[in-house]
A and B are shown apart, each in its own frame.
Chain A
Amino acid sequence: MKKLTLISVPITVALLAYTSYLALIVAPTEQTMGDVQRIFYYHVPSGWVAGLCFFINFVASALYLWKRSPASDALAAASAEVGVVFCAVLLITGPLWARPVWGIWWTWDARLTTTLVLWLIYVSYLVLRRFAAGGQTQVLAAAFAIFGFADVPIVYMSIRWFRTQHPSPVMGGGENSGLAPAMLHVFLINLVAFTVLGILFVWLRYQLQMQEQALESAHAQLALKGVSR
């Protein structure tokens, strides 16, 4: 396992560095926004990975409620935390792009507000897991996660359902949507690299969660031994 970590971490970081080179140097400059549009190559993939992580969390939480397996619970915890990290980057890079283009850092439009609510839902989920007392924490967290996931499709559809300050979908948004082939190529490579990074994070975080669970039970066993003596 250690060997795999030692190989996968530098490969993923190198892949991410290569995608930064593609996004900053190789991709053509957008005509209206200029160079600042290059934030797109980090902003959108971060959002995609956050959504993917929250979906994994949803499936793992449902599985936990059904089978009560500690592995499902560990996967749910891992994917939620990674999702929060990617969603945080989405929420930071968004205003950094908005300020020079819209002239404002933030506006309470449907896409931005539902994304902020999404981030807050999963931060609450992590807080619940961290601080709830009693033996039902995992069950509560799983139920919370299933309802919390309802915001993901709302975030996705918000720019289709409402007229927002946020731009319409770049892809799949109708006749006038789409990217120039050179931009699309860079975007897809970034999307793949960010997905690999997200999977690596979830996998590492899952390993950590399982190790922590093992450590906790080892502590409990040792304490029981002490009591029985």
Chain B
Amino acid sequence: MNPITFLKAAYIVAWVVYLGYLGRILLRMKRVEEEMKELQHNGSHSSRQ
């Protein structure tokens, strides 16, 4: 196999892992924020009852 293939593979893998991880963190942050908002909304709703 051409050595350039290994070079390309190494850079692609690194970018995929780093960008994938960044995307995963940002998605989880968004989900937790939404869940927190929902919880606060439910909490305030139930305390009014």
Question: Which residues of A are at the interface with B, using a C-beta cutoff of 8 A?
Answer: 5, 9, 13, 16, 20, 24, 33-36, 38-39, 42-43, 46, 85, 88-89, 92-93, 96-97, 99-100, 197, 201, 204-205, 207-208, 211-212, 214-215, 218-219, 222, 225
Contacts and interface: CB of A to CB of B under 8 A. Distances in A.
Contact of A208 (B15, B28, B40, B42): B28
A197 B14 CA distance: 12
Interface residues of B, number: 30
A204 B25 contact: yes
B31 to A, nearest CB: 10
B3 A207 contact: no
A38 B7 contact: yes
B14 to A, nearest CB: 5
A42 B14 contact: yes
A207 B7 contact: no
B19 to A, nearest CB: 8
B27 to A, nearest CB: 10
Q: Lowest 6 A-B CB distances belong to which pairs?
A: A36-B3, A100-B3, A96-B10, A93-B10, A39-B10, A211-B32
Given A89-B17, A219-B39, A36 B7 contact: yes
A6 to B, nearest CB: 10
Nearest to B42: A222
Contacts, number: 90
Given A201-B21, A201-B22, A89 B13 contact: yes
A208 B31 CA distance: 10
18 contacts: A13-B22, A16-B18, A20-B11, A20-B15, A35-B3, A36-B7, A39-B6, A39-B11, A85-B21, A96-B6, A197-B18, A211-B33, A214-B36, A218-B39, A218-B43, A222-B42, A222-B46, A225-B47
Given A36-B3, A89-B13, 17 more contacts: A16-B18, A20-B11, A35-B3, A39-B10, A46-B14, A88-B17, A93-B13, A99-B6, A201-B25, A204-B22, A204-B26, A208-B28, A208-B32, A211-B29, A215-B35, A218-B40, A222-B39
Contacts of A92: 10, 13-14, 17
Contacts of B4: 35-36
A36 B11 CA distance: 11
Contacts of A20: 11, 15
Contacts of B39: 215, 218-219, 222
Contacts of B40: 218
